[in-house]
Structure 1
Amino acid sequence: MADTSPAVAPPEDIASAISDTCVEKATSPVGKTIGLGMLAGAYIGFGSLVAVLIGAGASDLPYGLTQIVAGIGFALGLILVLLAGAELFTGNTLMTLPLAQRRIGPGQLLRAWGLVWIANLIGALLLVLLAIAVGLHLAGDGAFATSAIELAAEKASKSAGSIVASGILANLLVCVAVWMAAGAKSAVDKVAVIVPPVAAFVALGLEHSIANMSLLPLGLLAQTGTGAELPAGLSWGAAGANLAWSTLGNIIGGSGLGLAYWAIYLRKT
């Protein structure tokens, strides 16, 4: 008899599953958390490399289509995180759901967030250093480096308010992807629900702090051996500011979504 069950579980079941997963993550041993966090930073970094590569051929595609294709390529990162298993800070902002249920405490939440954010950063930076060592930035007669620098410069030029607002929107989409993937019943179904929201946030140019942990250093280091000049305003200080403000926006977006689903499906009246 054919299976007629839906490919994705209903939202109320997903809410319970997400809560259970977040409790497990919040109480995970430090070493495991850091190791999986470093993997997530690297996995998202691979998505960044693919997006930059696609952007290097942007002149051959009309505006809009290039951004969508780059977004689809970037989705590789979240697919690797969710299917291979890793700890991603932006997805873990959904921990506000079990926090509201009082299944975890504020200290556990902040510990988990802090460890994973730092581990994501380490993983992302290591991947970028390896990419530069391999010479990926020299691909396409420097087209890859140009794409990386232009993208990083665009991010570094945004105002604090713009980055925070953009970060909110970005993580709403990322957490919706994480949410739907938690309810998907096969690897194919998970990929199917991950790609559209991730492609959307990339195509819209929104700010994802963990993606920026690779995109900004990549742009700053892409001039190595190419003779390319960094645009005014693109600096390590500007990169740090972007990470700070995009992290704040991501926390607001993901935490708000977690609290919304708690209030709708899991709040005890």
Structure 2
Amino acid sequence: MAQAAEDAAYAKATGKPLKSFLLGLTAGGYIALGFVFYITSQVGASSVAWSGGPRILGGIVFATGLVLVVLTGAELFTSSTLTLTARASGRITWGQLLGNWGTVYVANFLGALTIVALVYVAGTWHNAHGGWGAVVLNTSQAKLQHTFLQAFTLGVLCNLMVCLAVWAGYSGRTTTDKILAVTMPIALFVAAGFEHSVANMFMVPLGLLIKETAGADFWRDAGLNQANYADLTWPDFLLHNLAPVTLGNIVGGGIMIGIFYWTIFHYVEKPSPESEQQVPRA
């Protein structure tokens, strides 16, 4: 599994940038669709006596996004942090690593915004008498209430689980194996309220769009007051959420999973000379 993870990281960082960009677009879209599923599962959840139930359900259905990423070979920034393993082995340069991260990050954002536009134009946010849009607004608002340190730490915890899910997925030999390996770690991070940078690229921009453009009929039907979302702004999102969460995702996935396991299998348990394969080094 460790070798498979490193080989996959090497292939991503040395592949064609256009391929990474296009696969990044799909990954951003798939994660956004996972959040669409999550939002739908949360409509009316505030009226449920056992509040943990809807969160667990939301986590399970959100996992659809990462399942699609894994099964289709899409490139997701959070799992691409594992390319640190290939850099640690000297198989890629820092330039290749950062170039891949930048390409995938931008593509993920554009892919997520594409689904934002489609969901908005489709009017999905009006569903359940504005209840669907209310979930988006309240979830987006909550994400901007964290301090920088809290957002960073929640990002660490999130990508710890995402990269564990991807790592475990390398053990699967069938589609069913991979789905089962991925689903529960993802359900855990969503149910616990951890922060995923790419997922937030969908949720918060959609919340911002609804806040700025919704008519009086939406606010009336949803039972919401637009003034209560005054701090839901682009600067707050980019500086107080997306930036610290992204940094936390890098630490949680790239270091706490990627480098941690790389250290175990390259130093604590070195492969025998007979089994060690020759690999290109940058």
Task: Report the TM-score range of the alignment, normalised by the length of the smaller protein.
Answer: over 0.9
Identity %: 40
Distance 1:266 1:98 in 2: 12
Which position in structure 1 is the counterpart of 2:231?
233
Of the three residues 31, 43, 53, the one matched with 2:40 is: 53
Distance 1:190 1:33 in 2: 22
Distance 1:28 1:134 in 2: 36
1:46-97 per-position Cα deviation (integer Å, ceiling 9, x unaligned): 0011111111121343111111100011101000100022100000101111
Distance 2:83 2:47 in 1: 42
1:23 aligns with 2:22: no
Which position in structure 1 is the counterpart of 2:280?
none
Paired residues for 1:250-265 under 5 Å = 250-256=249-255, 257-265=257-265
Distance 2:194 2:42 in 1: 15
1:37 aligns with 2:24: yes
Of the three residues 63, 74, 78, the one matched with 1:90 is: 78
Which position in structure 2 is the counterpart of 1:139?
127
1:147-188 per-position Cα deviation (integer Å, ceiling 9, x unaligned): 000000000111100000000000000000000111211110
Larger radius of gyration: 2
Which position in structure 1 is the counterpart of 2:143?
155
Paired residues for 1:130-209 under 5 Å = 130-209=118-197
1:1-48 per-position Cα deviation (integer Å, ceiling 9, x unaligned): xxxxxxxxxxxxx00011111100001111111100010000000001
Distance 1:153 1:73 in 2: 22
CA contact (8 A) 1:167 1:208 kept: yes
Single out whichever of 213-222 and 85-94 deviates more from structure 2.
Answer: 213-222
Letter of the 1:82 partner, please give it. V
- CA drift of 1:232 comes to 3.0
Distance 2:52 2:210 in 1: 25
1:118-147 per-position Cα deviation (integer Å, ceiling 9, x unaligned): 000000011111100001100011000000
Which position in structure 2 is the counterpart of 1:129?
117
Q: TM-score, normalised by structure 1?
A: 0.92
Letter of the 1:80 partner, please give it. L
Distance 2:132 2:261 in 1: 41
Distance 2:244 2:89 in 1: 28
Which consecutive unaligned segments of at least 5 residues does structure 2 have?
A: 272-282
RMSD: 1.3
Distance 2:207 2:266 in 1: 43
